Amino acid sequence: ASLDVATLGKGSDYDRLPRTYVVFICTNDFLGTGLPVNTLQISCIEQPSFDCGHDFRWVILDASKWSSLESGPLQRLLQFVDTGTAPHDDLLLSLISREMAAANADAAWKEEMMPFLTLEEDAKIQARISYEDGRAEGRAEGQQRMGALIQRLLADGRTEDLEAAASDPALCSRLCEEYGL
């Protein structure tokens, strides 16, 4: 939408949009196609033959598949992304390599860019949060279960079982089962 707004004036028709490409360079085949280049475009799922006239494309490049491309600038770019090495005779990649080294050495710039996480980093963060939430929930349930067991054992005068269960997890589990906890 941002690209559309930037390209068109207010009230302009969509057929005036130029061909637009958004390129993603990835380090793995997250689409699972096995291809080094995947070009996606907008289509109507309900009526695939409908041409919406929107010439918007996503190009997803998998750097790990660089060796399957014909020799040329795209292969060199993906090889650079995958391996971190740029051919000395490639002026653009040499420039990118120098700029990356300068950016990586600039702590203030890196701090400013930290909010821009990759999908993989975001997924790892979400998994960690889910794991921590699950552990906290499990601990709370365990504490409630143990509290209920203590109350039941005390009410039944089973203090010896209570003392033994405090250091014997297997006995504790059997007692919880016995009381239906």
Is residue 107 domain-shared with residue 129, that is, in the same domain? no
pLDDT in tens, 81-128: 999 887 778 889 989 888 888 887 877 777 776 666 566 676 777 788
Is residue 80 domain-shared with residue 90, that is, in the same domain? no
Range of the domain at 173: 125-178
Is residue 67 domain-shared with residue 92, that is, in the same domain? no
Is residue 133 domain-shared with residue 109, that is, in the same domain? no
Per-residue pLDDT at 7:
66
Rounded to an integer, what distance in angstroms lies between the CA atom of residue 164 and that of residue 171? 8
Is residue 50 domain-shared with residue 112, that is, in the same domain? no
Is residue 80 domain-shared with residue 96, that is, in the same domain? no
Is residue 41 domain-shared with residue 77, that is, in the same domain? yes
Residues of 150-159 as b/e, b for ≥16 C-beta within 10 angstroms? eebbeeeeee
Is residue 94 domain-shared with residue 129, that is, in the same domain? no
N- to C-terminal Cα separation, the chain: 54
Is residue 23 domain-shared with residue 67, that is, in the same domain? yes
Inter-residue contact 29 to 62 (CB < 8 Å)? yes
Is residue 21 domain-shared with residue 1, that is, in the same domain? yes
Is residue 110 domain-shared with residue 169, that is, in the same domain? no
Residue 61 makes CB contacts below 8 A (sequence gap 6+) with 23, 24, 25, 26, 36, 37, 38, 74, 78
pLDDT in tens, 12-67: 766 667 778 889 999 989 889 999 999 998 888 898 888 776 778 889 999 999 99
| Number of domains composing the chain | 3
Is residue 160 domain-shared with residue 91, that is, in the same domain? no
From the CB of residue 57, how many other CB atoms can be counted at a distance below 10 Å?
14
Instruction: Single out the residue in 97, 116, 135 at which a domain terminates.
Output: 116
